[in-house]
Structures are given as structure tokens and as C-alpha cells.
């Protein structure tokens, strides 16, 4: 825990909390504040334990908020973007809201892997792509989504998507966004009306999974909103509240025939129960393919809804979960308590 705290390892956010005796505050492991000496620290498994021990929540990492949730100082800007996603924001606009453009830039780079201006441009281009795919006029699409000239729109469009606006009508488009859960933020991707991606944002294989999905679907991804994303968020909320056992969101899961069989098998595992990789391979009619089954489980891009967390080792040990063993344990405990 000391090593994780000093390296600001976000993978341990939610696993434990670090309290500082000299200041009386407690933090997430990823807190950016200066790290005090180890003999001034103590660790707690839950927020509740830290609070009952007399510690106050840190104002920088805000351990009482859902992990990855936007800070209060940014909420006004995000709300305005949602209200008018075609608007072009400049640094002067941010200053009028009392925001430091550098601070906004750092938050978007940390949470979306792009600057604020790149984020809003990608979002506007994604909306323009959707309009073009639905038969919209190219020039109208450019001006309606905040571009001052068609040439500027064309250059930005081709840079992001790799094709010109005119050749994009057949381009598949995946809308992505983040949602927040008790286990941390998740990246959600939707193709048309179907969910194709649901992964924890701190998964180390996330970038690889995204590239594989783009290759399989031959698609582009842009940030945005979707009714399906809202539905996924709502269904996950009721799942974590112990009020849902099954999900009914439409899915698209491109993969090999073997992967498809493995993923279909995962969805047949009853809520609150577990199986082993060996048993899973046997049910597929290929008992010798235990490692191949495990690899296919690891390639699952829609976690929780396709419940690869319900597969454990033959010896009963928890293993092989891309989101982290602690999350796997949490999910299994949640389902066991809900049954």
C-alpha cells in the first residue's frame, strides 16, 4: 500500500485509503498531494473506517466522490458543452467562467487523453459525421458544427478520421463516453444502437482493446452522447444497488467464431454463480482448450454485462481479470449478497 500510494497508482483507488496522522486527512492512493513519511500514515479499507477514525476527506483527491467524477469546479463547463455541443470554446470563454485554461487542459488530458480543445473539436466532428452518414449536406454539416470554413472542416475531418467528409458516408461511427461506477470510471462505446465497448478506464489493456475493436469494426471513435450510453449507465446503477440480475442492452461483439462461442457461454453463467476455465472449455466441447478459453475471456470488451468475472481457477482462486482482482472479488461478493 505504501508503494502504491507513493507511486500514485490509480489502480488501487477504491481498494484502500491512506490517512495522514499529522494533518488529519485521508486520501485516495492516486492523490497528487505531497507524500509524507511512512510512519505518519495509516491505511483503511473503506471511507467509512477512515471517517470513524476521525479523519477528514482530502480536498484535492476528494475520496468521497465517485472515482474519476468531474470536480465541482468543472461541472458548469461540462453542462454548457452538453447544452450546446456545437459551440467553439476559446480560452477567453473559460476565463469568463472563472476557469484557468491550463487547469482545464490538464484535467482533460488526464481524463480523456486529449486537450480540452481537441476534445470539443472531436465531439463536433463526430456529430458532423453522424449527420453526413444520415444524408446531410457536407457544407451544411461543416457550418452547423462550429467550423468557419469548409476547407478547415475538411482538413480537421480527414486528420481525425483518415478519410475526407465526402468518402465518410460508409464510415462506421462509435460514440464513446465515460460513466462512473462504485468501482471507478468506465469507457463506454456504442455503434448505432448497440453496445460494443465497456471497460474500466484504468485497465492496462484498454488501448489495445480499443485498437482491436477499431480494426474489427473498421470504425472511428469520437466522444459524445447516446441514449444507449444513458441506458447502460442506468442499468449498471441498478446492478450495483443489488436491484438487477440481467442486462438487456443490445450488444455487438466482433471477434472470431471461437471467441463468439466463449462470450456466449459467459452470458449463460447464472447470476451469483461461478465456473472454472476448465469447465467452460468442457461445455464448449473442447476440454483441451483451457488456455484458449482464458485468452478469449481476456479479450472480452464488454465487462460485467458479459460476465467474465464469474470464471475462476479450478482450485477456486480468483485470477485473470483485466480490471483487477479486487474488482472481480467485489463483483462476486455483490452478486453473492444479492442472491
How many CB atoms sit inside 10 A of residue 284's CB? 17
* Among 202, 251, 213, residue whose Cα is nearest residue 231: 251
Between CA 310 and CA 297 the distance in angstroms is 10
Per-residue cell: 12: 488501487
| All residues at 6 or more sequence positions from 141 whose CB lies less than 8 Å from its CB, including other chains | 128, 131, 132, 153, 165
Residues marked active site are found at 308
3-state secondary structure at position 17: strand
Between CA 113 and CA 107 the distance in angstroms is 9
What φ, ψ does residue 47 adopt, rounded to 5°? -60, -40
Between CA 326 and CA 160 the distance in angstroms is 36
Amino acid at each position: 500500500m505504501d508503494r502504491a500510494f507513493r507511486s500514485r497508482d490509480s489502480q488501487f483507488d477504491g481498494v484502500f485509503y491512506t490517512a495522514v496522522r499529522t494533518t488529519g486527512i485521508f486520501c485516495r492512493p492516486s492523490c497528487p498531494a505531497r507524500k509524507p513519511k511512512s510512519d505518519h500514515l495509516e491505511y483503511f479499507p473503506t471511507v467509512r473506517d477512515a471517517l470513524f477514525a476521525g479523519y477528514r476527506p482530502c480536498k484535492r483527491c476528494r475520496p468521497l466522490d465517485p472515482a474519476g467524477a468531474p470536480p465541482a469546479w468543472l461541472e458548469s463547463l461540462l453542462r454548457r458543452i452538453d447544452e450546446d455541443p456545437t459551440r467553439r470554446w476559446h480560452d477567453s470563454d473559460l476565463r469568463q467562467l472563472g476557469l484557468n485554461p491550463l487547469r482545464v487542459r490538464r484535467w482533460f488530458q488526464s481524463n480523456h487523453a486529449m486537450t480540452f480543445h481537441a476534445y470539443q473539436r472531436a465531439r463536433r466532428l463526430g456529430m458532423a459525421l453522424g449527420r453526413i452518414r444520415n444524408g446531410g449536406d457536407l457544407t451544411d454539416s461543416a457550418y452547423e458544427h462550429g467550423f468557419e470554413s469548409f476547407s478547415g472542416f475538411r482538413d480537421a475531418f480527414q486528420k481525425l478520421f483518415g478519410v475526407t467528409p465526402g468518402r465518410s458516408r460508409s464510415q462506421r461511427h462509435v460514440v464513446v463516453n465515460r460513466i462512473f461506477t462504485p468501482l471507478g470510471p468506465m469507457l463506454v462505446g456504442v455503434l448505432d444502437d448497440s453496445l460494443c465497448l465497456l471497460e474500466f478506464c484504468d485497465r492496462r489493456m484498454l488501448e489495445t482493446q480499443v485498437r482491436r475493436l477499431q480494426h474489427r469494426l473498421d470504425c472511428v471513435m469520437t466522444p459524445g452522447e447516446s441514449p444507449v450510453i444513458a441506458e447502460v449507465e442506468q442499468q449498471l446503477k441498478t446492478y450495483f444497488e443489488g436491484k438487477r440480475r440481467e442486462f438487456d442492452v443490445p450488444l455487438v461483439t466482433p471477434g472470431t467464431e471461437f471467441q463468439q462461442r466463449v462470450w456466449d457461454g459467459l452470458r449463460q453463467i447464472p447470476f451469483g454463480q461461478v465456473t472454472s476455465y476448465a469447465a467452460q472449455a468442457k461445455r464448449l466441447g473442447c476440454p483441451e482448450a483451457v488456455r484458449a478459453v482464458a485468452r478469449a475471456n481476456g479479450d472480452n470488451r464488454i465487462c460485467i454485462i458479459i460476465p467474465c468475472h464469474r470464471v475462476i481457477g479450478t482450485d477456486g482462486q480468483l485470477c485473470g481479470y483485466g480490471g483487477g482482482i479486487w474488482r472481480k472479488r467485489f463483483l462476486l461478493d455483490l452478486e453473492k449478497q444479492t442472491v
